[in-house]
């Protein structure tokens, strides 16, 4: 087995990643999370993380990508809406009522899990109202 030695920069990058600990809530309040669309009880229990950044992520605090998505499954209840010419807003409201998770809700879930920040949630998704 070929063992390769790590350079000092590679070792420092690994150390930087290991030390990139959560800096806490920062300036993100529960009210800001609620305003973004998070349910109150989840917002109060969520402690958003803020990456410190390192050489690997060019000091942004982000490395890689996380998928956020909105999938509308066309159930029988929605077929009637489509056939009757419902607006996109009416169709979306009914899909949400039937359990669809919106793009914003998906992004807020990633935030609650510690996978992204509020600024990224706002940047990549539109409000649900």
pLDDT reported for residue 8: 64
Residue 129 lies inside a defined structural domain of this protein = no
60 assigned to some structural domain:
yes
Q: 16 lies in which domain range?
A: 8-124
Return the closest-CA partner of residue 64 out of 118, 129, 115, 125.
115
Q: Is residue 3 part of a domain?
A: no
User: Which DSSP letter does residue 64 get?
Assistant: S
Has residue 1 been placed in a domain? no
Looking at residue 17, its pLDDT comes to 40
- Tell me, yes or no, whether 31 lies in a domain: yes
The enclosing H or E element of 72 equals none
In this prediction, residue 24 carries a pLDDT of 43
29 located within any domain: yes
CA 77 to mean position of chain CA atoms: 29
* Total tally of structural domains belonging to the chain: 1
Query: Which residues of the chain are under the pLDDT cut of 50?
Result: 12-25
Q: Would residue 45 count as lying in a domain?
A: yes
pTM of the prediction?
0.70
In a domain, 112, yes or no: yes
pLDDT value, residue 54: 83
């Amino acid at each position: 087995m070929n063992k390769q030695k790590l350079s000092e920069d590679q070792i420092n990058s690994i150390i930087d990643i290991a030390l990139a600990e959560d800096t806490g809530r920062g300036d993100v309040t529960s009210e800001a999370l609620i305003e973004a669309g998070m349910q109150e009880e989840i917002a109060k229990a969520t402690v958003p993380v803020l990456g410190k950044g390192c050489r690997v992520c060019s000091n942004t605090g982000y490395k890689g990508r996380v998928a956020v998505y909105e999938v509308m499954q066309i159930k029988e209840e929605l077929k009637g809406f489509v056939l009757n010419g419902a607006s996109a807003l009416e169709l979306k409201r009914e899909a949400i009522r039937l359990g669809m998770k919106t793009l914003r809700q998906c992004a807020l879930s990633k935030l609650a899990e510690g996978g992204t920040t509020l600024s990224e949630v706002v940047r990549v998704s539109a409000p649900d109202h």
